[in-house]
Amino acid sequence: MKLCLKNCASVVTNSDTGPEFLYGQDIILEDDRIKQMGATGTLPYEGPILDCTGLCAIPGLVQTHIHLCQTPFRNTADDVELLDWLSAYIWPGESRLSSDELLLGARIGIAELLRGGTTTILDMATIRHTDAVFQALEESGLRAISGKCLMDDQSICPPELVEDTASALKETEELIERWHGKNGLLEVAITPRFAVSCTTDLMRECARLSEKYNLIIHTHASENKKEIELVRNKTGYGNLEYLEKIGFMGPRTCIAHCVHMEEDDWKRLKVSGSHVLHCPSSNLKLASGIAPVPRMLEEGISVSLGADGPPCNNLLDGFMEMRLAALIQKPFHGPTSMNARTVFRMATLDGARALGKDAGRIEPGRLADIALLDTGQVHNVPSAHLYSTLVYATRASDVRHVVVGGSLRLQDGRLTYGNRKAWLKEFRIAFEARP
């Protein structure tokens, strides 16, 4: 498998050793890697060509916290209190979805992600029908880590969305067997929803499974004050303190939100090498708060970005999350905080690192996950300052082509697989009954 991205007007490399920006480049891909780069027309090459004249090549966006399974609930649960949001909309919604509906929802969500230049996600499915999500991921060619959501605390979880501990874990191991490593792009994560919905037995087993199979753990913590109170009532500890006590933290642990940090939490995250998955739109929309990301970065904590789920965003747009990650800190930390370069790397390289992927850089030898953008439109010119252009003035709709693992998954804004129109029609019939 070969492809030449011909005549890229500019390239943002994220390189630490070479130039951060290159101009007038051909990028030659072979199998799933970047093979060679050089000034347009100077490299020997025979094979398929994608004309990238006028476009800017960037490492594909990495979104480390996504709920594809919630796509059917977009635009249906807005401007409501958080507990209502979860208990009146999201949990009942998830519990009602059939396998076919999950497949359909995941297809729509993935299409949005690829059209917006996202090439890798860490996803949290619901407790049932996780195969359907993996099926949609497989056909799309997105690089993705997903996992069956685990909820086993009978005293707290709604009866329609709870399992016994053993069968929840058994299903996770079956998913690992079926999907982990499939097509070179898919991985399974261990996915306990959050400390509130899980018994300590389950949480400990999650840590054990993660170690046994060397898998990412994906969970939520310290998203909002009521949740933290629930964890303290239940365990006697702060939220991250509890996770630390039970041996849950570590370099494979990916924790969404961390909006409300307690004093020792900085050290807990840093020392354990756990990763914070920052979701600015979701934290605003659900009134959770503003995560203290500038201090996290100062402390050397790993922070990457995600859109969370369609019902709490309501987009899955990595460009929107970059823009917000930069903007929301400035009133509190000044206009120079969270500069465009920092945020751009957070949305690409830092996400790839959190997920253990050799992506996030456009350099020979790296994974060929690349988005090609039109930065020459009336809303983003002048675009010579690339970081500013990408973070503050570029939109998902500016993405023209997307390559994942060397394979073209979006060309001229159109998916290269499946039948988007038919899926959209089916999805709207299924989920768009007039309110």
Which of the residues 1 through 20 are near its own copies (CB under 8 A)? none
How far is Cα 100 from Cα 12, in angstroms, rounded to an integer?
Answer: 39
The residue within the footprint of its own copies, chosen from 13, 140, 239, 283 (CB under 8 A), is 283
Site membership for its own copies, residue 315 (CB under 8 A): yes
Give the nearest distance from C-beta 165 to its own copies in angstroms.
Answer: 33
Which residues, including other chains, have CB under 8 Å from residue 202's CB and lie 6 or more apart? 150, 152, 153, 165, 168, 169, 192
The distance of closest approach from Cβ of residue 314 to its own copies in the complex, given in angstroms and rounded to an integer, is 4
Cβ atoms of 53 and 376 within 8 Å: the answer is no
- Asked if residue 286 binds its own copies (CB under 8 A), the reply is yes
Pairing of strands 56-59, 399-404: unpaired
Decide if residue 336 touches its own copies (CB under 8 A).
yes
DSSP letter string over 213-244?
HT--EEEEES-SHHHHHHHHHHHSS-HHHHHH
Q: Which of 159, 435 has the CB closer to its own copies?
A: 435
434 touches its own copies (CB under 8 A): yes
Dihedral angle, C-alpha 62, 297, 216, 410, nearest 10 °: 0
Nearer to its own copies, 84 or 264 (CB): 84
Q: What is the DSSP string of 329-363?
A: THHHH-TTSS-HHHHHHHTTHHHHHHTT-S-S--S
Residue 280: is the preceding peptide bond cis (ω within 30°)? no
Q: How far is the CB of 9 from its own copies (least distance, A)?
A: 11
Can you tell me which of 11, 202, 328, 410 binds its own copies, judged by CB under 8 A? Answer: 328
Q: In this chain, which stretch among 39-47, 128-136, 190-198, 328-336 interacts with its own copies, using CB under 8 A?
A: 328-336
Taking CB under 8 A as the criterion, the residue among 190, 216, 393, 408 binding its own copies is: 393
Phi, psi of 76 (to 5 degrees): -120, -5
Query: Which of left, alpha, beta for 240 (phi over 0: left; psi -120 to 50: alpha)?
Result: alpha
Tell whether residue 384 is a contact of its own copies (CB under 8 A): yes
Residue 334 near its own copies by CB under 8 A: yes
Starting at the edge strand found earlier in the chain, the sheet holding 253-257 runs 217-221, 253-257, 275-278, 302-305
Asked if 214 is part of the footprint of its own copies (rule: CB under 8 A), the reply reads no
- How many Cβ atoms from other residues are within 10 Å of residue 300's Cβ? 9
Decide: 296 and 305 in contact? Cβ < 8 Å. Answer: no
SS3 content of the chain, % helix, strand, coil (to 5): 40, 25, 35
Stretch that binds its own copies, among 124-132, 158-166, 187-195, 277-285 (CB under 8 A): 277-285
Q: Does 101 bind its own copies (CB under 8 A)?
A: no
Residue 353's CB: how many other CB atoms inside 10 A? Answer: 17
Of these, 388, 401, 403, 409, which contacts its own copies (CB under 8 A)? 388
Q: Does residue 108 interact with its own copies by CB under 8 A?
A: yes
Is residue 285 a contact point for its own copies (CB under 8 A)? yes
Q: Which is nearer to its own copies, 150 or 399 (CB)?
A: 399
Which of 229, 241, 156, 253 shows the shortest CA–CA distance to 199? 156
Q: Rule CB under 8 A: which of 170-199 touch its own copies? A: none
180 three-class SS: coil
Q: Is 264 in the site for its own copies (CB under 8 A)?
A: no
Among 79, 155, 263, 300, binds its own copies (CB under 8 A): 79
Q: Which is nearer to its own copies, 164 or 298 (CB)?
A: 298
Pinpoint the alpha helices (H) of 247-385: 265-272, 280-285, 293-298, 318-327, 330-333, 340-346, 349-354
Shortest gap between Cβ of 141 and its own copies (angstroms)? 16
Work out whether 284 is an interface residue with its own copies (CB under 8 A).
yes
Q: Is 345 in the site for its own copies (CB under 8 A)?
A: no
Interaction of residue 379 with its own copies, rule CB under 8 A: yes
CB of 432 to its own copies, least distance (A): 4
Query: What is the nearest approach in angstroms of its own copies to the Cβ of residue 434?
Result: 5
- The CB-side HSE value for 330 (13 A sphere, CA atoms) comes to 11
Tell whether residue 289 is a contact of its own copies (CB under 8 A).
Answer: yes
Contacting its own copies within 411-430 (CB under 8 A): 420, 424, 427-428
